[in-house]
Structure 1
């Protein structure tokens, strides 16, 4: 009779692998590193994931899912995207203050490290960034249609600018070891959008 696989093992592997890859990068993290962190043999690890690439892509999916819940889903519930955007930057600043700005955005890190190395990684990251941009764009379009923003607002271009500011601020915060970079960038992103409000919010 075949031995049942513990359903908790795969999520634990993904969690440990994400932690290591986030700090060290995909290429600098070995299967031996991940197996040791999971307290299992490399052979056991390969029973669950057939290759390092398969594990890396699964980790990317795992992290994208978490980022979707934390960063994208709130955009669908917001009444004013400028406030939701600034809240996103503030939340990131708090996280980075806690970890000493030593990790950055996992998806952004993978984009920088792997886009010129692996088409599989590049395509997955590109698809997620497109989804993120589209979610910001949709929130801006809804707000414009509701009369919160003027017709001068360009939802697609503004959405791309917000995401570019966010990812760029992540890089600067990491380089400077200064989470306040994210707060300042968030204020600028919100101000860029708020300039198109039909009525200024009270200060």
Structure 2
């Protein structure tokens, strides 16, 4: 019986993981551009150069691929971008800085494509319970993180103690997603800048 070295096994595992990540990233690009339903498995395979067997080894269906794209690409990216602002002891300053940086970095293409989490919500929540639950869980998690940040801001004396932090967190999420949505629909980056500055002004009004 041939002996397979540990290095060979590890190389095979690494290659498999690399292929999985490649499929996720290409699928994310396709789904952001076209939406989940219009995305073609064939196009993903063509762009990746991988076989159908390689894809189905990692993702038994298009739906499981979509769930993985949502959680491992879009949600992970959102969490990475927001972590510094949400951990700032002065959340108003941290969030305001992040909003201005994000708006400044947004290209016309990014405005055209919009927020992937919101896009999935608009397209898939009415027709797939798995997507609806995942999107709802992420929105609620974002609200939880914002609420916790605002409570820390209150404790540090950087926000009014009488405000309802849950209400503010909910309003913030709805406002930023709405701003991205109307900017996408109008294909107008200036609308996003206007909404961001208005939201920053609202947050500044919550200081003691």
Both structures adopt the same fold (TM-score exceeding 0.5): yes
Pick the structure with more helix per residue.
Answer: 2
Structure label with greater radius of gyration? 2
Q: Which has the higher contact order (CA 8 A, sep 6+)?
A: 1
CA distance in 2, matches of 1:168, 1:76: 20
TM-score where L is the length of structure 1:
0.89
2:179 to 164, 169, 194: 169
1:99 aligns to what? 109
Matched, 1:64 2:70: no
Contact 2:90 2:156 in 1 (8 A): no
Contact 1:89 1:183 in 2 (8 A): no
TM-score where L is the length of structure 2:
0.87
Q: 1:140 to 1:100 in 2, by over 3 A?
A: closer
Deviations 1:147-192 (A, max 9, x none): 1122232211111111111100111111121222222222222221
1:201 aligns to what? none
Contact 2:159 2:206 in 1 (8 A): yes
**How many residues align structurally?**
197
Matched, 1:53 2:63: yes
Q: Equivalences for 1:7-26 in 2 at 5 Å?
A: 7-26=17-36
- Unaligned regions of 5+ residues in structure 1, if any? 199-203
- Unaligned regions of 5+ residues in structure 2, if any? none
The secondary structure found in structure 2 opposite 1:64 is: helix
